[in-house]
A and B are shown apart, each in its own frame.
Chain A
Amino acid sequence: MGKTIAQKIFDAHLRDEPFPGAKVLDLDRVFCHEITTPVAIADLEWRQKDRVFDPSKIKAVVDHVTPSKDSKTATQAKILRDWARRHEIKDFFDVGHNGVCHALFPEKGFVRPGFTIIMGDSHTCTHGAFGAFAAGVGTTDLEVGILKGVCAFREPMTIRINIEGTLPEGVVAKDVILHIIGKLGVNGATDRVLEIRGSVVDAMSMDARMTLCNMAIEAGGTCGICLPDMTTVDYLWEFISDDYASKEAALEDYSKWHSDADAHYEQTLTFDVTALEPMVTYGYKPDCVKPVSEMKGTRVDQVYIGTCTNGRIEDLRQAAAVLKGRTVNENVRGIVSPATPKIFKDAMAEGIIQIFMDAGFCVTNPTCGACLGMSNGVLAEGEVAAATSNRNFNGRMGKGGMVHLMSPAVAAATAVAGVICAPADL
């Protein structure tokens, strides 16, 4: 019997199996941010074990609330900053250099096919887009990861998702993953890896694949994972060109992680996206999904474009294409947060920031920002947001607020109209 990519990564990293089914893996990367790491640091200090297993494999960023908004968030950033300095963690990203972790770390070349990665953040599954096993964990797992370089997982059962057909004009990765979550349900993939593949994924950029994998957790999945191909190699080439004689050689090496033809899947689901429409969520769970056409006319107070799901350059381009020559509706507050400084700079160079500002958007620094109602862009009670983020839980962007999840282009059209609509409706 052949193996899936997840099984191959597990086999290659297995340190210990203390009990049947409990796999303790060696970690290639431990990612850290200022919200979930400080308590781990404090606990390590309290245990008199303030050490790190390998400073070169630990990457840290202040991203959730940055620049700090008050004394408490300043303290969180300071704890992370002091710790990174103390342990000579070279790759620590602070104000001026920081951005949303799941956009910044791939951009810096920290993610490679076949890697094992944990972070105290549920959307760590994003990095599976590169053919890595990347999982969100709690602070205790993070703490042990920092100290020992290991993390325990159950044997990964895999659901294979084939995405086939041809994406219609204006329908993008966000619509596809919302549709899939709507079918799987919020716990349809609990304890499962989602291996996301097929001709549509093959044709997608890394930005789009990251959008797909980012939302695996919204179906309960441990990790979303795509098979590494030439698109992966092209993205990584500036970081790996010293390691391989050619891109073809890199691809051949990465192909060792590909799932075998006779690999066992717990379930295989095929989605033909040829007739898919732009999708949007209603209600307070990410599996409450409808075509935009059925939600058309729903009034919104705020539109938020950004986040680890859709704050990358391709997302901003799609939104700007809709906004060009148009302005935000007078009843709407538009906010855009380019996910990293590089994305911000590229967006400026391409004239995208100008388009957003001319349209009347507020452009913020790279940060998780409004997505989780922790810093800027918080909703007031009873307000409605259209957002390119990944979670629409009750209170997510502010107590008593409602969030509709959608693609960047639909969010841009909604900002212009003041009500939910697709670009074609403008």
Chain B
Amino acid sequence: MKKHFGGPAICLDRDDINTDEIIPAKYLTEVTKEALTPYILEDLKLEGFDPRGQKLKNSKVVVTGGNFGCGSSREHAPWVFEVNDIHTVIAESYARIFRQNMFNCGMLAIELPKADIAAIIALGRDAELEVAVDLPSRKIEASAAGKSLSFSFDISPFDAALVDAGGWVEFADSRY
């Protein structure tokens, strides 16, 4: 089933946030996605960021820097976002396996140039940030404190088909 995208956003203003920071290896002993819910971003040390805080709890979008999700192949990283209702990540770039895992789960890993990411992060610095995603027209609108910014993005036709299908299992099962 196709997921819902966009909503209140949290900014993680750093490059190279890795899968161990997103979900530490000690929780990989869980065999259901739901069991991961409380451990989201538990080991991420970032000024002003609280992994147990209300801001993360309310968020449905993550905005971050380059090479997001580097490290392990663990799909527990996209899953921990999924079970916390975060279906959209907007980053300057991704590690390959993390990006593929996002689309394979029917979620969105959007890439924007560094300057656009910086503009969104600046916009959300002292105000509640909201990101609306218009998937058919490949546009996002970031708004905070009455101001808003629009950006175009692109995703490959294959990745778009995975999002439409709800994930790679659904796509592959109907085709192979």
| A interface residues (Cβ-Cβ under 8 A, vs B) | 15-16, 18-22, 24, 35-36, 38-39, 42-43, 47, 49, 64-65, 70, 72-73, 75-76, 79, 120-122, 124, 136-141, 143-144, 147-148, 150, 152, 154, 186-187, 190-191, 220, 222, 285, 372-374, 391, 393-396, 399
CB distance from A165 to the nearest CB of B (A): 30
A-B contact pairs, 24 of them (CB 8 A): A21-B158, A43-B169, A47-B169, A49-B173, A64-B28, A65-B29, A79-B31, A122-B72, A139-B101, A140-B105, A143-B169, A144-B169, A150-B172, A150-B176, A222-B96, A373-B24, A373-B25, A373-B26, A374-B25, A374-B29, A393-B20, A393-B21, A399-B24, A399-B43
Digitize B78-113: 1 where CB-to-A-CB distance is under 8 Å, 0 elsewhere.
Answer: 100000000000000111110011001100000000
Q: Which of B54-62, B63-71, B128-136 contacts A (4 or more CB under 8 A)?
A: B63-71
Task: Kindly list chain B residues whose C-beta atoms are within 8 Å of the C-beta of A20.
Answer: 157
Query: Which of A43, A138, A186, A393 contacts B97, CB < 8 Å?
Result: A138
18 new A-B contacts, CB < 8 A, other than A187-B16, A393-B71, are A15-B176, A39-B32, A75-B31, A120-B73, A120-B75, A136-B73, A137-B73, A138-B74, A138-B75, A138-B97, A138-B101, A140-B104, A140-B168, A150-B176, A152-B168, A373-B24, A373-B25, A374-B29
CB distance from A398 to the nearest CB of B (A): 9
- How many residues belonging to B are interface residues under a CB distance threshold of 8 Å? 44
Nearest chain A residue, comparing its CB with the CB of B20: A393
Kindly state whether residue B126 has any CB partner on chain A within 8 Å: no
Residues of B118-176 whose CB lies within 8 A of A: 156-158, 161, 167-169, 172-173, 175-176
Inter-subunit contact A285/B16 (CB<8 Å): yes
Kindly state whether residue B47 has any CB partner on chain A within 8 Å: no
CB distance from B114 to the nearest CB of A (A): 13
The complex places the Cα of A42 from the Cα of B32 at a distance, in Å, of: 9
Query: Which of A19, A138, A391 contacts B104, CB < 8 Å?
Result: A138
Contacts A186-B16, A395-B24 given; indicate if A140 touches B167 (C-beta within 8 A): yes
The complex places the Cα of A141 from the Cα of B98 at a distance, in Å, of: 11
Kindly state whether residue B3 has any CB partner on chain A within 8 Å: no
Task: Kindly list chain B residues whose C-beta atoms are within 8 Å of the C-beta of A64.
Answer: 28
The complex places the Cα of A337 from the Cα of B161 at a distance, in Å, of: 44
Kindly state whether residue B4 has any CB partner on chain A within 8 Å: no
Inter-subunit contact A138/B158 (CB<8 Å): no
